[in-house]
Amino acid sequence: MKQLLLVTALFYSVVSFAAEPAAPAAAPAAPTPAAAASAEEAWNNTTLTDALIAKVQAASFEYKNCAATEMQKPDYANIDVRKATETVIKECEPVLSKIREVYLSEKVPAVIADRQLKKMRTQTTRNLLAELMFRDAARKAGQ
């Protein structure tokens, strides 16, 4: 009975919401000086050259390869996986900065380059942490 009442109330709320007239669109506000300045600094949506994409992919591969080879060191087997992950990421940070240089040399705004690097760093950290946790669990299971 409660389910029937809930479904009916939901149905009527959806119907009444759809029946309400739409609010008139507000007139666009005049751009402020700050908005005009940010529009000048905004990066227009353009296509990246194949050369830039190849450079970024090569630098990205180098970064991921650095993290993978650094993770293989036996020193990290004896410490906490979170501390090991943090150490590996810090060791490979100079390699990641090469990607930023590639972006900036092609006139990509620093905000966009930094956002891309943050995304890459976060994904690599998550993958690295998962791998180290798996290895730690396998090592503990074998004891």
| Range of the structural domain that residue 132 is part of | 48-138
Q: Is residue 143 in a domain?
A: no
Which pLDDT belongs to residue 76? 82
Alpha-carbon distances, residue 98 vs 62, 66, 108 (angstroms): 10, 13, 14
pLDDT category at 88 given cuts 50, 70, 90 is: very high
Bigger pLDDT: 9 vs 88: 88
Give the residue-averaged pLDDT of 45-61: 84
Distance, in Å, from the CA atom of 56 to the CA atom of 108, rounded to the nearest integer, reads 12
Q: Is residue 52 in a domain?
A: yes
Domain total of the chain: 1
Picking from 93, 91, 115, 90, the residue whose alpha carbon sits closest to that of residue 103 is: 115
Q: Is residue 85 in a domain?
A: yes
Q: What pLDDT, in 10s, does the model give residues 3-31? A: 655 556 655 555 555 555 555 555 555 55
pLDDT category at 142 given cuts 50, 70, 90 is: confident
Give the residue-averaged pLDDT of 107-132: 92
